[in-house]
Amino acid sequence: MTAKQRPPQAGNRYRTNRSVKCYVADIRCGSVSCTWYFSNSIERVIYLFPGQIEKVVYETTLYRLQSAERMEELVRELISREETVQIGGKGIYSFDNDKSFQAYPFIEVYAQEDLAT
């Protein structure tokens, strides 16, 4: 008796034809404080999930794509808490007169445990 070949099954994600340029957000903590890094500019194909959730693959893992508006909110919040932020190599500090930056979509690659420190 021979086995009957089954056709490929649909996955839970759906590819779109568009890609996005985004930052990779990471946090590194020392003994005194943490620094937030928005760096490693990447371009990735967007995968659309049910509920209009967009994700991208980075280093073999799917990450939820955050909007540029979310980056703007997060950086402003971090600056107000006097956290150190690096965006594309530019340091942004609460005491600087020039706190300008260009917000872009981003993915968060840090672990939630890093936020507890």
Q: What is the pTM of this model?
A: 0.77
- pLDDT reported for residue 19: 86
Which residues of the chain fall short of a pLDDT of 70?
1-17, 112-117
- pLDDT reported for residue 12: 61
Domain boundaries, the chain: 19-115
Region of 60 on the Ramachandran plot (φ > 0 left; ψ -120 to 50 alpha; else beta): left
- pLDDT reported for residue 71: 94
- pLDDT reported for residue 13: 59
Q: Give Cα separations from 69 to 100, 105, 106 (angstroms).
A: 14, 8, 10
- pLDDT reported for residue 93: 82
Contact 20, 36 (CB under 8 A): no
- pLDDT reported for residue 106: 95
- pLDDT reported for residue 89: 84
- pLDDT reported for residue 29: 84
- pLDDT reported for residue 23: 92
